Each structure stands twice: as C-alpha cells, then as structure tokens.
Structure 1
C-alpha cells in the first residue's frame, strides 16, 4: 500500500497544509466537499487545493516526511512546491501528468 504526503493550499495561496493519507483521491474529496469540520485547520482556512504530493512506500516513511516538511519554513515549502508545480495550479489527479 502506498502513502501520500500532500500539501494543500487555499484559493488565495496564503496558507499551506501538509498531511498524509493512504487514499489521496478520497482525502481530497473529503476536503473539497466540506466533510472536514469547519473548526479544523483545513476547513477554517479553506485548504482544499492540492498543489504538491509525493508517494511513500510505507506509513513510517510518509509520517517522517510529513514531519520533516511541517518543520520547514514557508520559503522551503514554496521551493518544494515549485519543483513539481511552478504555477501552483490545483492538481487534478485524473489529468495530472507531472
């Protein structure tokens, strides 16, 4: 089973959220349809646009990578996103070729 480390942002691209999941499509659906509670970070800041993701072969590696990214400053996270998605376009998993 693969795990995904992902970075979501809001429409204004001012807030970043880093998370992990074993089902990226399901998790994005939950964020985009408001299934997350409005009091939680992603609901409060409307973080539902996928701008970066990477695949990890197991949960331990994904958790370690998520923690690593969460400890970075904004400039380093921006650089990481720019390596995969320089235009910061929302990634559609059905059409993504990157």
Structure 2
C-alpha cells in the first residue's frame, strides 16, 4: 500500500495563529502537537486545532505544497481554511487513528 503524506494547518482559534506542517503520520503528529511535543512554536502559542488537511502520495509534492503555503499571504491561508472548513471545526476527531 502506498504511503500517504499530509500537509496540514493548525490554528489557535478562528482567525488565530496558524502553523503549517507536513507529515506521513497525521494522527500521531497532531497528537504530538497537542501534547506539547510537536514544535516549540505550537506549544508556545497553543496552536492545536486541526483546520485544514491535504493528502499527497508523493513526499516531494507534499513538501513543495507545505513550502508554497508558508509563503502565501495570511488572507489567502484564511480563505483556504474557510473554503474547506467554514466553521473552523477541529478535524482531529475525523482522522482514522
């Protein structure tokens, strides 16, 4: 079975601080963020709400997308989240763990 990679966006709250990352184990990575082991940035700013997910089959595509999103203007990122998750629901509970 091919591996799936995910680019994800975490938020502290609606329209709050954002964090963009990529991983090959989304559930474990988000769990780590929530427990203060994901990154110093997410721990410091309490950025733990999973608000956007994009799957990829090629790690190079995932990394390229992550880098591209990080360069986007904040307004574009907010629009992307609003399009896929208009209520800014925490998508962590929708993951198959």
Common fold: TM-score over 0.5: yes
Q: Which has the larger share of helix?
A: 2
* 1:11 CA displacement: 3.4
CA distance in 2 between counterparts of 1:78 and 1:49 reads: 14
Query: How many matched pairs?
Result: 93
CA deviation profile, 1:3-55 (whole Å, cap 9, x unmatched): 00000011364100000000000001101112235xx1111111111000110
Where 1:50 maps in the other structure, the secondary structure is: strand
Normalising by structure 1, we get a TM-score of: 0.87
Normalising by structure 2, we get a TM-score of: 0.88
Structure-2 change in CA distance of 1:90 and 1:45 (3 Å): same
Unpaired runs of at least 5, structure 2: none
> Which residue matches 1:7?
9
CA deviation profile, 1:57-90 (whole Å, cap 9, x unmatched): 1110000000110000111001111111001111
> Which residue matches 1:56?
56
Unpaired runs of at least 5, structure 1: none
